[in-house]
Structure 1
Amino acid sequence: AADVAQAETSSEDALAQADRHLVQQDLDAAHELLSLLEGSAPVLWRRARLCESRAQEIKRREGVAKCRHSAAARAQLLEGLSHARAAIEADGDCGACHMWYACMLEATARFEGTRAEILAAVEIKKHFERAAELEPSDPWAKHYLGIWFFEVAGVSWTTRKLASALFAEPPTASMEQAIHELLAAERLAPDFSARNPLYLGRSYLQLGQKEEARTW
C-alpha cells in the first residue's frame, strides 16, 4: 500500500511539473516528462494540450497565418485529437478530458473547412458543456463555451444556409449566451485570461452596448 501511495504521489508531482513546463512553453521538457508516464486520462489530455501548443509554435516558426497552412502543425493537431479521444475513453468523468477533446476537435475541424466546422459544432458544444458540468470551479470550460456561443452567433448568412442544409435543427447561439458564460468564467477567476475580457467586449459591441464593452 505504501508503494502504491508513493507511486501516486510521484505521478502527481510529475504531472504538476509537466503543467509548469506547459505554462512556461518549455514544450520539449513537457514532452520528455509526459512520455515517461503511462497513458492515463490525466496524462493523455496533457499530451493533447502539448500537441496544440506545438502546433501553435510551428505556425509561428513557419510564419503562416493559420495552422491549416502548415502540414507539420496539422499533424500535431491530429495527434492531439487522438490523445484527447483516448483520454475520454479512459475516463468519461474527467472535465479536462472533455474540454481538450472539444478544443482539439474544433482545431482540426477548422483546417477541414466550413462544412466540417458546422458538422463538428454540436459535438464541440456538448463536450464544453460536459466539462463545465464536471468542473464547475474551472473558468476555462465556461470561457471556451462562451467563445463557442460568440462564434456561432456571429456566423455569416452563407454559413447559416449551409448549416440549415446539413441539420434539421442547426446549432444556434446568441451574444447574450456568450456574455453569460464569459461573465461566469470571469467571476470564477478574475483576470485568469486576457482573451476573456476581449471576447466580453466584442460580444457587447455586437449587441450595440458600447458602454458595457468599454468596461472590458
Structure 2
Amino acid sequence: MAAFIVIPPALTTPIARDATLATAMRDGDAAFRVFDNETARLCYERAFAIDSTRCDVLWKLARSNIDCGMVAPRDDRPRWFASSERLTRRCVSLYPDSSEAHFFLAVAIGQMTKVVGNKRRIELSREVKGEAETTLLIDPAHAGAMHILGRWNYEVAGLGWFSKMAAKIVYGGVPPGASYQQAKEWFENAIAERPDMPLNHLWLGETLIKLDDYAGARQALQVCLDLDDVLWDDSHTKAQARKKLHDIQGRK
C-alpha cells in the first residue's frame, strides 16, 4: 500500500501570512512600548516585507526609522530621515484620510529640516505646517500635531535676519501669526490633550522663557521633570528641562 504523506499548509497561505504579519506588528509594538527602538524597527521591517501597503506598517516603520536616525552618527541621519519621508509619503498617498500618515510625514519632514541648508529648510517648514494642519482637520484632538504647530511657531518666531530674508522669498514674508504667543497656545492645547507627555511641558517652558514669564516657565519645567517617561528620549527631554531650570534660576 502506498504511503500517504500529509503536507502542512504552505506558510504563504493568507491565514499564515496574516498571522505572521500580526505577530510582527505585535512584537514591534511591544518593543516600542519599552523603548527598544532597534527591535521595533526590525519587527516592522518584517511586517513591511509581508505587506508594504498597510497603513500602520508604513507609518510605524517610518516612526522607527526616525527614532533610529536620531541616535545615528550625524552623517547617517539624512539616510534614515529620507527613508521615513518616503514611507510616509507613500502612506499619505494610499491613505489620505489617515491622521497618523499625515502626522508622521510632518515629523519626517521636520527631521529632514535638521540636515539640509537654510533655503531648503524654510521650504520644507511650510510643508511641515501644512501636514500638521491636515492632521488636525482629520483628528482635531491630535496632541502631536498641536505640538508640531507649537514648535513651528517657536522656530519661525526665532528666525534670524538672514533666514527671514530667505523666508520672504519662499513665503513672500515670514508667515503671519507666527509668534511665541501662538507657540504657547499650541503647547497648552497639546498639554490639554496629553498632560502626561514631558516633551509638551518642556517646550511650554522654553516658550514662556521667550515671553519672559519665568515663574510660569519654572512651573512647566518642573512638571516635565516630575512626569514618568512616555517616549524613549524623555531622559534627554528632562535633562534639557533641568538645564533650563538652572539657567533661569533667580530670574523674575
The TM-score bracket by the shorter chain reads 0.7 to 0.9
CA gap of 1:5–1:185, structure 2 versus 1, over 3 A, is farther
Instruction: Deviation per CA, 1:88-145: give whole Å up to 9, x if none.
Output: 0110111111111111112113211111111111111010111123223332221122
CA gap of 1:92–1:9, structure 2 versus 1, over 3 A, is farther
* Partner residue, 2:9: none
Aligned residues: 203
Say yes or no: does 1:56 pair with 2:61.
Answer: no
* Partner residue, 2:147: 143
Determine the C-alpha separation between the residues in 2 that align with 1:149 and 1:210: 20
Say yes or no: does 1:185 pair with 2:198.
Answer: no
- The 5 Å alignment of 1:111-150 reads 111-150=115-154
Gaps of 5+ in 2: 1-12, 221-252
- The 5 Å alignment of 1:5-84 reads 14-37=24-47, 38-39=51-52, 40-59=54-73, 69-70=74-75, 72-84=76-88
Shift of 1:43: 0.7
AA of the residue aligned to 2:36: D
Shift of 1:187: 0.9
Shift of 1:6: 10
Determine the C-alpha separation between the residues in 1 that align with 2:126 and 2:149: 12
Shift of 1:77: 1.1
- Matching residue within 205, 211, 229 for 1:207: 211
Aligned residues of 1:122 and 1:171 also touching (Cα < 8 A):
no
Gaps of 5+ in 1: 60-68
AA of the residue aligned to 1:148: W
Shift of 1:15: 3.2
RMSD: 2.4
AA of the residue aligned to 2:102: H
Determine the C-alpha separation between the residues in 1 that align with 2:25 and 2:174: 39
Aligned residues of 2:164 and 2:173 also touching (Cα < 8 A):
no
Q: Which has the higher contact order (CA 8 A, sep 6+)?
A: 1
AA of the residue aligned to 1:34: Y
Percent identity, please.
Answer: 22
Query: Which has the larger helix fraction?
Result: 1
Aligned residues of 1:121 and 1:171 also touching (Cα < 8 A):
no
